[in-house]
């Protein structure tokens, strides 16, 4: 068994080459995924667009941009992330975020700020809607039948008919079902308010030490993947534990936390991916703690189950009945 390894990037450069260089380093080192930070109103490029830019230039690493559910239409999130999954050939993910900042609400001008619990509840609905939209095309909906002039089997496109307190979405999507079926959904979770409320596949937690990490792992549903966040070098102000030492000492800390806590992996917050790839990754490999995955999709790399299309399953049940 091997631990999973990720890096979190939070740059503000508008130069594509800066991002390409960082993500290629992660890709060549065999890291499982890279996350791209984003908030409304900050200086810097859109995270989803950055991930789409580097996707054709990388082959293995998962690409997980932050996309905020507050003030954002779930239909647009669904299509953008499905497109990212197609461009990356099944390596897309999505880090869900809410916005509690009144300045961001004023910037967008869509509505005033809501209470945190309501924003998280809304985010839960957005996750549900986005996944339904990804399922709204069955995998074989595109038929390209030249003889009849039919491109799509309309019987394999489905209305999702979602109605909730925050929005109503009928569907179907305008993008075919992603290669993964459902790209990986992740969320940063400081406590149970998030991991008890959001149906994410992966949670990034911020433990203070190995024992705290173990407590968090025990509190989260066992089918979820849990990554412990560590800020490396203290370069980035953060809510996560900060490490400032040698790569060998960081490898010691990772080995201890992984053994004691049962986390599935680590997300290292860095300003330069080389801080991880040049010395730490070889050291972890030497110790037998990390082995790059041979799987081609992010879901497979993380050991997540196949995403069964809910509407196709219902169609099969109806045909049998």
pLDDT in tens, 279-311: 999 999 999 999 999 999 999 999 999 999 999
Question: Over 80: is that where the pLDDT of 315 sits?
Answer: no
How far apart are the C-alpha atoms of 92 and 6, rounded to whole Å? 14
pLDDT in tens, 63-120: 999 999 999 999 999 999 999 999 999 999 999 999 998 888 888 887 877 899 999 9
Closest by Cα among 232, 185, 193, 238 to 216: 193
3-state secondary structure of 274: helix
pLDDT in tens, 168-219: 999 999 999 999 999 999 999 999 999 999 999 999 999 999 999 999 999 9
Question: Over 60: is that where the pLDDT of 319 sits?
Answer: no
Band (239; pLDDT cuts 50, 70, 90): confident
Band (320; pLDDT cuts 50, 70, 90): very low
Q: Which residues touch 134 (CB under 8 Å, ≥6 apart)?
A: 78, 82, 173, 177, 178, 181, 182, 183, 307
What is the structure's pLDDT at 237?
61
Q: Which CATH class is domain 4-98+175-304?
A: alpha beta
The residue whose two tokens read 């461009």 is: 87
Angle at 195 between CA 193 and CA 198, to 5 degrees: 95
Mean pLDDT on 225-250: 88
How far apart are the C-alpha atoms of 233 and 171, rounded to whole Å? 46
Q: Which residues touch 261 (CB under 8 Å, ≥6 apart)?
A: 207, 210, 211, 213, 214, 216, 217, 228
113 and 40 Cβ atoms separated by less than 8 Å: no
User: Within 10 A of 279 (CB to CB), how many other CB atoms are there?
Assistant: 15
């Amino acid at each position: 068994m091997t631990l999973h390894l990720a890096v979190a990037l939070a740059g503000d450069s508008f130069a594509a080459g800066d991002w390409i260089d960082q993500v290629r380093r992660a890709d060549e080192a065999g890291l499982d995924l890279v996350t791209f930070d984003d908030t409304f109103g900050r200086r810097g490029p859109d995270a989803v667009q950055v991930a789409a830019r580097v996707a054709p230039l990388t082959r293995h690493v998962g690409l997980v941009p932050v996309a905020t559910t507050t003030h954002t239409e779930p239909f647009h999130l669904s299509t953008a992330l499905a497109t990212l999954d197609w461009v990356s050939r099944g390596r897309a993910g999505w880090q869900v975020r809410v916005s509690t900042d009144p300045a961001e609400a004023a910037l967008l001008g869509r509505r005033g700020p809501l209470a945190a619990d309501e924003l998280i509840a809304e985010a839960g609905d957005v996750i549900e809607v986005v996944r339904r939209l990804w399922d709204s095309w069955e995998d074989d909906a595109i038929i390209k039948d030249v003889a009849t002039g039919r491109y799509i089997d309309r019987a394999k496109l489905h209305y999702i008919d979602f109605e909730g307190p925050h929005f109503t979405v009928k569907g179907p999507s305008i993008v075919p079902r992603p290669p993964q079926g459902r790209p990986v959904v992740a969320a940063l979770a400081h406590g149970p308010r998030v991991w008890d409320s959001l149906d994410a596949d992966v949670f990034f937690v911020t433990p203070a030490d190995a024992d705290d990490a173990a407590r968090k792992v025990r509190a989260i549903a066992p089918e979820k993947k849990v990554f412990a966040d560590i800020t490396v070098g203290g370069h980035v102000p953060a809510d996560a534990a900060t490490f400032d030492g040698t790569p060998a000492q960081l490898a010691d800390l990772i080995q201890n936390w992984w053994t004691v806590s049962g986390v599935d992996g680590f997300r290292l917050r860095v300003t330069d991916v080389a801080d991880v790839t040049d010395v730490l990754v070889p050291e972890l490999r030497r110790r037998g703690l990390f082995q790059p995955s041979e799987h081609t999709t992010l879901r497979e790399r993380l050991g997540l189950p196949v995403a069964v299309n809910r509407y196709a399953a219902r169609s099969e049940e109806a045909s049998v009945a």
